[in-house]
A and B are shown apart, each in its own frame.
Chain A
Amino acid sequence: MTTLPDSMSGALLLSGIDFLLSFLFISCIGVILYFFPKLNKLGEITEKKN
């Protein structure tokens, strides 16, 4: 496994990768949530507690 250098360049690289991937992952979650209303076409679940 390639290791990140324990230096300022390592910190900058890690921060850049992490910040971009955070946006990517969160955007993917947003895209999935965008389609959530389609689930309601499958049916309805009663709101009553058992």
Chain B
Amino acid sequence: MDTLFLTLMQELLNQTGLPALTIGNLVMIAVGGVLLYLGIVKKYEPFLLVGIGLSCIVANVPGSELTKEGGLFWYAYKGVENLILPPLIFLGVGAMTDFGPMIANPSLVILGAAAHLGIFVALISAKFFGFSLAEACSIGIIGGADGPMAIYTTMKLAPHLLPQISVAAYSYMALMPLIQPPVMRLLTTKEERQIIMKQPRYVSRLEKIVFPVVIAVIVNLFLPPVAPLITMLMLGNLLRECLCVDRLAETASNALLNVVTLVLTVAIGSTMAADTFLTPNTLLIIALGLVAFVFGTGSGVVCARIMNKISGGKINPLIGSAGIASVPIAARVSHLVGQQENRQNFLIMHAMGPNLAGVFGTAISGGIMLALLVK
């Protein structure tokens, strides 16, 4: 009787995931816990980190069916793998974004390219550390500070690095208010930080409607590899600006964006299995991501300083860091650093121009990489 009882208990134990639990799983469960802490307690990008954190924990519990073939998280990952989710995220982002500040001040769009030096510093550094060129490009694109674009490029160039790159990209975007200000202060003088910029011009409805159509044509014509993302961004923006399909614009920017974000976060978290994530390369990728953000911020500020000199002191160099993308976090950081120097200074609308141009800057960089590397 005792033997039968023990045998049954042993069989029951073998049905659980306990025998397969490894130290690596425990470490990754702790990592998931940290992500949940950052999201829930520290409020760093909670919309992303809550889903990523829990699915990371679940993915490291042996026996969980969710991440196995046919499981819900597995299907969620198929949405990433087949490049369906990132364009849908862009549709929602386009529907909630006013491109007026970018249209109003065309000269500032150049900052959207200048603030991407970090991409190339990280790319070259990654190559130096032994990554393949395709992997190095995926690591570099972290510096574009654009989550969907980082996922899109990585899935095309180095899909095995998706967990590391997406976690690094979204974590640093959340930490931009901590990373950027010291670099911005280091590269500017107090007088420059206090510059008050002229009010941007009024942008008409017609201009706002024509803008997404023109950009969609340009991107499909010259940058086909990233056209799905930017076209969806522009479709979302057209829904918003044409003022005659409010329900669609509302759905794209709220309900749809929320659903897609939820699916995307569990898809990313479910790829963070111990055997693929706990490698020395992960630490290296996370360090290179930080390098990319720091150099991107710095190059944007330096370019804005040059533009300030050329314009005769009309441009506050703090808006240069917003060219790194990550809408609207980077623009908000420029505004807050400016406010710390001068309470009367409202840089947010000025910084939104380079910030939105940064989205295109990242797309252009990613598009050129894909065009040159993907056969």
Please list the residues of chain A having a beta carbon within 8 angstroms of any beta carbon in chain B: 1, 4-8, 10-12, 14-15, 17-19, 21-23, 25-34, 36-37, 39-40, 42-50
Contacts and interface: CB of A to CB of B under 8 A. Distances in A.
A7 B116 CA distance: 22
Interface stretch (B164-172, B308-316, B358-366): B358-366
B206 A14 contact: no
The secondary structure that dominates the B interface is: helix
B287 interface: no
A40 B243 contact: no
A42 B109 contact: no
Contacts of B364: 21-22, 25-26
A39 B372 contact: no
Q: Is the interface of A mostly helix, strand, loop or mixed?
A: helix
A27 B222 contact: no
A26 B207 contact: no
Contacts of A10: 127, 133
Contacts of B368: 17-18, 21-22
B372 A14 contact: yes
A14 to B, nearest CB: 6
A34 B247 CA distance: 32
A34 B243 CA distance: 24
Contacts of A27: 109-110, 113
B128 interface: yes
